């Protein structure tokens, strides 16, 4: 994908921007991002909330799956997100990447990994997405 695509993704309003997540790369082969952990990412014990990890993993999988599906007149919606929390994080910079497991016509599966500045695994997950025709109503 082009740098314009990544620029457009980073300019979109919503959860990704509110969380300070910066998309670095976006293609049908891999999507990556990074963000600096702050208090807005914390749960009550002062560590990154598991929902942040789930959200990042689903975001990257969705971007990658959309990069595959859009050229064939489809859009994608998440069906399942299984995320494991490996290491607690309180501060620092995290980065994540996602790669496809399968890119079928009706469904896709993507895996993602979140790592800290020392390259230690923080969380990993797998997302299953449904590919549907663009003219099909959602919901």
Domains of the chain: 3-133 (3.10.129.10)
Give percent above pLDDT 90 in the chain: 92
Q: Tell me: the pLDDT tens digits for 22-35?
A: 999 999 999 999 99
Judge whether residue 137 has pLDDT over 90: no
Q: Mind listing the pLDDT tens digit for each residue in 50-93?
A: 999 999 999 999 999 999 999 999 999 999 999 999 999 999 99
- Where helices occur in 70-101 by DSSP H, the ranges are none
Instruction: Tell me what pLDDT residue 1 has.
Output: 58
- Among residues 21, 104, 93, 5, which one has the least CA distance to residue 58? 21
Question: Token pair of 50, please?
Answer: 């598991």
CA distance 116 to 104: 31
pLDDT tier for residue 138 given thresholds of 50, 70 and 90: confident
Alpha-carbon distance 77 to 64, whole Å?
12
- For 6, phi then psi, to 5°, come to -65, -40
**Which among 47, 128, 33, 138 has a CA at the least distance from the CA of 86?**
47
Rounded to the nearest angstrom, the gap between the alpha carbon of residue 16 and the centroid of all alpha carbons in its chain is 9
134, 124 contact by CB (below 8 A): no
Q: What is the pLDDT of residue 55?
A: 98
Residue corresponding to tokens 């942040």 = 52
pLDDT tens digits, one per residue of 80-134: 999 999 999 999 999 999 999 999 999 999 999 999 999 999 999 999 999 999 9
List 4, 58, 80, 134, catalytic entry = 58
Expressed in angstroms, the distance from the first to the final Cα of the chain is 29
Which tokens hold the place of 131? Answer: 């590919």
Q: Is 39 a catalytic residue?
A: no
Q: What is the pLDDT of residue 42?
A: 98
pLDDT at residue 139 above 80?
Answer: no
* Percent above pLDDT 70 for the chain: 99
């Amino acid at each position: 994908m082009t740098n314009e695509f990544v620029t457009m993704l980073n300019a979109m309003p919503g959860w990704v921007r509110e969380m300070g997540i910066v998309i670095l790369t976006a293609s049908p082969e891999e999507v990556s991002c990074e963000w600096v952990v702050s208090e807005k990412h914390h749960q009550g014990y002062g560590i990154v909330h598991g929902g942040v990890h789930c959200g990042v993993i689903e975001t990257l999988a969705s971007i990658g799956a959309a990069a595959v599906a859009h050229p064939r007149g489809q859009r994608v919606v998440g069906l399942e997100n299984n995320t494991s929390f490996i290491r607690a994080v309180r501060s620092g910079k995290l980065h994540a990447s996602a790669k496809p497991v399968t890119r079928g016509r009706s469904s896709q599966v993507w895996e993602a990994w979140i790592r800290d500045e020392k390259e230690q695994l923080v969380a990993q997950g797998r997302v299953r997405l449904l590919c549907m025709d663009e003219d099909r109503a959602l919901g």
